[in-house]
Structure 1
Amino acid sequence: MITQKARKKQAVVKYAEKSGKSSASRMYGVSLSSIKRWCKRYDGTWQSLLERSHRPNSHPKRHTAKEEKQIKNSFRKCYARYGWDGVYSDLLRKKYTRSFSGMVYAAKRMGLTEQKKPPKKSREQRRYPELLEPGEKVQIDVKEVPYNCLRGKTLRDGKHLYQWTAIDECTRMRFVYGFEEHTPENTVRFLAMVIKAFPFKIKTIQTDNGTEFTYKFISDERISPFDKVLNKLGIKHKLIPPRTPWHNGKVERSHRNDQRYFYDWETFRSVEELNEKLEKHLIWSNNKTMRTLGRKSPIQLLAEKLAT
């Protein structure tokens, strides 16, 4: 259906063809340059006078062909396992300089889109005090390695494997290690590894109330091996309330990421193989950019904190 603007333009063009462009300009109050442009476009149909898009054909800051190729390669390599964060981290290692949002926009424009997910219900955001220094508080927890990841002799002998995790609340720097037994003695061994691995002094360690950490709910007189070592080192031990794992939310979230990015893809025949693969996964996770850190990795943020 012809629009009112197209009808007017057609009338102006026909008048200009009959009486001249200058006369049409005075008659209809339209600039001479517009009339010339309309006459040039007019092919006898009103459709040729419809409004055209003013959007530019190109943008000076658009991704180059080389950058688009990098995005495609990183998407194919990393997206299925590591998501957009993994794609962006892989690109940064290739000297990619664009923002995270710019990368996602370019990828979607190229048709590299993920399946749409139903929107999540928004929940009230709780504000916690910001920890300004590395080592102010370190969360430690234990995750049992999923049964379907076990293979070979470990599976045949009915053994279990466990992952100990320590995460610094300030920088999200992590250390992980696997053991065959879920015992307080292994927690003490893990603590020694954490102190050696983290390049900062630990002031507080926060854990749940499992017997690998505390004997608080077993005996008022007995002190767990873990507490004995912490007292000797002068490190404060903070226990979360019973049945409130969300108070250890950072280490719990890191365990969910381990499940998604690691355990859903790997299998293990022994604790040695578990630790060999965990070491590679730890390097990746400590160098992975995070939205909560302003698109910096734990390694980058730690370097900044230690430099100040």
Structure 2
Amino acid sequence: MNSITQDMRFRLSIVKFYNRISATKTAIRYKVTRQFIYFWVYRFNGDIHSLADHSHRPHHHPNQHTDTEIKWIKDIRRRNPDMGLIDFWLRLKVLYNYSRSVSSLYRVMRAPSMSPVKKAHKKRINKPYDTPTVPSTKIQIDVKYVPTCCLVGDLKGTKLYQYTVIDEASRLRYLAFFEEHSTYSSTKFLMECIKFFPFKIQCIQTDNGFEFTNRLVSEKKTLFEETLCYKTK
């Protein structure tokens, strides 16, 4: 239901006063022109909604798309339902020498029948992570740089790296600090992990850092990989 505005009530008062008195006295009382009074009196049909403002939007424009251009757009949209705006505009220029701008084409293609059809994307369902339940099944090793602001006393001004290992099943953790993160430090930490854990390690997970492996750039094994292969035999 259309709402009744304050302007509509004002115009209704003018119409009613005009019907009882006259146009001149109505113009003096409401401080409007006689033309304004006559306009709304002729517009009024007994329903207050007839006193509402009509759209001022023009019905035609001298530069609007022609029927031929509209047919071009519909034909290409029918053959290419999911084509984007820029590709659509270029296709029109190549096939029909279309001279309109992209923004002009966009205003025409805002109609639901000309909008691109969005492809249905399948929702990705991530595979649940299989967390080990038996200790020693998998342990994770990671290395982090220790910020200088955390170093005090004799360690102030030095550079340290924290190696951390954790068993995924038991959450048993061990960490150590080294002055460099290299394959030598990683190997030394691995030997400490083997001594620390009360069980035989079955699988070790690391990132692809050069302190662990060179498999992304070379087939040559690092000291860490060679030691790992030797200890798991």
TM-score, structure 1 normalization: 0.35
Identify the structure with bigger relative contact order (alpha carbons < 8 Å, sequence gap 6+): 1
Answer with 1 or 2: which has the greater Rg: 2
TM-score, structure 2 normalization: 0.45
